[in-house]
Structure 1
C-alpha cells in the first residue's frame, strides 16, 4: 500500500509524463478527431489530368463523363503531347488519361481503339476506386455502341478498351511504401525525443538564462545540428539498405533529396524547441511529441491515400512536418522530379519554415522579457530589503 500511495503521488506530482491527461487526450483524439478526419473510405473527386490529342466532340463528351463521376475530377486538359509523369508532380493528379489522335474516327468506323491511362501507385490503395469507375464508363460506352442501352450516339460501332500502366511502384513493393514511410516516421520521432527536452534541460542547468540575456535564437538552433546530422545519415543508411536489400526505386537525385532534408530537419528541430519550451523537465517535454509528429504520418499520404480525405483535411495536414517530408519522398524519390518540378511545393515549405522560425523568435523574445522582468523585480526586492536593513 505504501508503494501504491508513493506511485500515485508521483503520477500527479508533475515530475514525469502527465499520463493522467495524456491517456484521456489519446482516447479523445482517436475516437473523435480521427473519426472525423478519416471518415472517407473511398476516392472522392480524385484529381485526373487528360491528354487529349484528338480534341473532338467525342473526347470532350468522355471528359464530361469522367468529371461527372463522384470518384474523379478533371483538373487539367492538354491538347499537346506531354510526359505523363510530369503531371503527377506535387500530387497534382493521381491518374492521367491519354486520348490518342483519331479516337473519334475509329469509334465511328468500327475500328477497335484504346484509351491510355496512367496510375500513380505511390500508394497502392488510392486508385482502386478510380479503376472501377473508369472501367464502368468504358463498359457503358461499349454497351451504347452495341445498342444494349440508349445512346445519343447511335452510330458508335467500334470497341473501346483501356490500356493501363502503373507508374512509380508497379510491383507494389513495401520498400517504396510502408517501410519507407516508417523509416521517416520513426527517425523523426526519435529525433524529437532527443531534442524536445533541450530547453527544459538548459533551464534546469540555468544555461537558458545566459542564452536569453546574451544570445539569440540561433544559439538554440545551432544546438540542433549534431542531432540533425545523425537523422539525415540514418535516413540515407535506411534507404541504402532498402535499395540493396529490398527493391527501393530511387528515381530522382539524392543530392536534391539531401538538400530538402536540411530544411526538413530544421523545421522539425525548431518545432521541438517550441513544443518543449514550457515543460518543467525533459521527461514531460517528451510526451508532447504526439502533438506534431504522428499527425503527418496518419494524414500525409503514406498510410492512407490522400484521395480518401476531404480537401480541408489535406490542407490541414500541412501543419505537420511529416506531411512535407512525404511530399518530397513521393516527388523526388518515387517520381524522379527535379528542383524546378517541385519549386512551388518547396516555396510553400519555405513559408512554413519561416512561420515556425517567426514563432520561435517571438517565444525567445517573450522569454527574454519575462526573465528581465523577473530580474528587475528581484533587484527591487533586494534594494527594498537593503533599505529596511539600514533603517
Structure 2
C-alpha cells in the first residue's frame, strides 16, 4: 500500500495526470475528425458522351444524382482517358458510345467503357458501386412482360433488360500493388526525417555559432544553404525509385531526367518548410524535436496512405500547403500514369507559388530578426549613457 501511495503522490504532484487525460482526448479528436469519412462520396467522374442524345443526357443526370458520383466534366468528343486521369481531376472516365439511344430503343446491347484509376485503390471503391448501381437500375427499368405483350421476341427482351453492358478496365495498378501507396509513403517519410531534420537546424545552428547575423545581412546565403540538401535529396529519390522498379517491380513510366524537376521542386519546398518551422529554436537540439510537426501532418493529410478526397473539405485545402502533397501528385501523374511534364503546367505553377510564399515567409523572418538585433544594439548603447549621468553629478 505504501508503494501505491508513493506513486500516487508522485503522479498527482506534477503534470502527468493532465498529460494522461488530455493527450488521448486530443488524439481522439484529431484522428476522429480526419478519418470521419470512411468512404468517398461525390467522387469526381468524367463522362465522354459520343451519343449526344436525350437518353445520354438523362443517364449523365442519373449518374450525377448518385451519392457516390459527381460528374465533374462531360466531353462531346472522343478523348484518351489517360488525358483526363493524369492530373487527378477525375478518378474514373465513363464512355457513352454513339448509337446508345438507338440501340436501347431497338433492344440491342451497348457496351459502355468504364476506365478506373486504381493508383490509390481507396478512391475508386465508391464510384464503382455508384456506376454499377445506376447501370443495374437502368437495365431493370423495362419489364419483360410488357415488352412481350408488345410482340417482342425473347432475345429482344433479353437485350432490352441488359441493354447497357458495363465494361470496366482498371488502369495503372490492376493488381492493387502496395508499391504505389504504402512503400512510396514510407520512402518519402524517411526522406522527410532526413532532409527535414537537416533543414530544421540550419538557422539554430548559425545562431548558436554566432554566424546568423552574417547570414541575415545577405538572405541569399540562407537560400544557398538549402540547395545542397535539395540536390542530394533528388539523387536519393531517383536511386530509390530505380531500386523499387528493378527489385520490387514497381510501375515507373517517367523519364529519370524529367523526374528531376518535380523532385527538385519538392526538396526545395520541404527544406524551406522545415527551415521556417525550426527558425525560432534556440539550438539545433531543440529544433530537431520539431520534426514531428512536419512528419505527422504529411503522413496523415498528404494522400500518402489514403485518398485526400476522404478528408473533410477544410483539410483538403490544408493538404495543398504540405510539400508531400505535391510530391505524390507528381509521382502518381508522371511516374505511375506516364504523363508528360506538359500536362502538369498548372500543378507546377501552384507548387512554385507555394515555394514563393515560403520564400516570402523566410524574408519576413529575416526582417524580424534584423529588427530584434537593432533593438538589442540600441538598448545596449543607451545603458552606458544612463550609467554615466550619476558619475558627472558626483564630480560637480
- TM-score bracket relative to the smaller structure: 0.7 to 0.9
Question: Residues of 2 paired with 1:69 and 1:147: CA distance?
Answer: 26
- Out of 293, 301, 304, the position equivalent to 1:302 is 304
Instruction: Identify the range of structure 1 (337-346 vs 38-47) with the bigger mean alpha-carbon deviation.
Output: 337-346
Q: Is the CA contact 1:108–1:157 (under 8 Å) kept in the aligned structure 2?
A: no
Structure-to-structure mapping, 1:162-173, within 5 angstroms = 162-173=166-177
| C-alpha distance 241-24 of structure 1, shift in aligned 2 (>3 A) | farther
What residue is the counterpart of 2:87 in the other structure?
A: 90
Do the aligned residues in 2 keep the contact of 1:200 with 1:277 (CA within 8 Å)? Answer: yes
Change (3 A) 1:24 1:294: farther
Q: 2:211 — aligned with what?
A: 207
Q: Which residue of 2 aligns with 1:15?
A: none
| 8 Å Cα contact 1:54/1:104 also seen in 2 | yes
How far does the alpha carbon of each residue in 1:4-40 deviate from its partner, in whole angstroms, 9 at most, with x for none? xxxx9xxx9xxxxxx9999988645532123212211
Q: Which moved more, 1:22-31 or 1:374-383?
A: 22-31
Report how far residue 272 of structure 1 moved: 1.5
Identify the residue that residue 46 of structure 2 maps to in structure 1: 49
Question: In structure 2, what is the Cα distance between the partners aligned to 1:223 and 1:328?
Answer: 25
Q: Deviations over 1:73-101 (max 9, x none)?
A: 00110110101111113211001000111
- Which is further off, 295-304 or 370-379? 295-304
Task: Map 1:1-391 onto structure 2 (within 5 A).
Answer: 27=24, 30-147=27-144, 156=160, 159-212=163-216, 215-385=217-387
Q: Which structure has the larger Rg over C-alpha atoms?
A: 2
**Which stretch of the first structure deviates more once superposed, 283-292 or 75-84?**
283-292
Equivalent position SS for 2:123: coil
Q: Which runs of 5+ in 1 are unaligned?
A: 1-7, 13-18
In the alignment, the residues of structure 1 paired with residue 208 and residue 367 of structure 2 have an alpha-carbon distance, to the nearest angstrom, of 19
Task: Answer yes or no: is the 8 Å Cα contact 1:185–1:322 preserved in 2.
Answer: no
Deviation at 1:112, TM superposition (A): 1.7
Deviation digits for residues 233-288 of structure 1 (CA, Å, limit 9, x no counterpart): 21111101101001221223332321122222222111212111111221221222
Distance (whole Å) between structure 1 residues aligned to residue 198 and residue 96 of structure 2: 53
Distance 2:309 2:97 in 1: 27
The answer to whether the 8 Å contact 1:49/1:87 transfers is yes
Pick closer, same or farther for the CA change 1:159–1:228 going to 2, 3 Å: same
In structure 2, relative to structure 1, the CA distance for the partners of 1:25 and 1:204 (3 Å cut) is farther
Identify which range, 361-370 or 109-118, moves more after superposition.
109-118
Alignment match, 2:149: none
Q: For 1:338 and 1:271, how far apart are their aligned partners in 2?
A: 27
Q: 2 CA distance for matches of 1:91 and 1:265?
A: 22
Q: Is the 8 A contact 1:293 1:321 kept in 2?
A: no
* Contact 1:188–1:231 (Cα < 8 Å) also in 2: no
Q: 1:257 to 1:378 in 2, by over 3 A?
A: same
Query: Match of 2:112, SS?
Result: strand
In structure 1, distance between residues paired with 2:85 and 2:70? 14
**Whole-Å separation in 2 of the counterparts to 1:103 and 1:349:** 42
**RMSD between superposed Cα atoms in Å:** 2.7
The answer to whether the Cα contact below 8 Å between 1:47 and 1:74 also exists between their aligned partners in 2 is yes
User: 1:389: Cα distance to partner?
Assistant: 5.8
What's the CA shift for 1:350?
Answer: 1.2
CA contact (8 A) 1:253 1:338 kept: no
Verify the 8 A CA contact 1:293 1:322 in the aligned structure 2. Answer: no
Distance in 2 between residues matched to 1:87 and 1:234, nearest whole Å: 31
More contact order relative to length (CA 8 Å, sep ≥ 6): 1
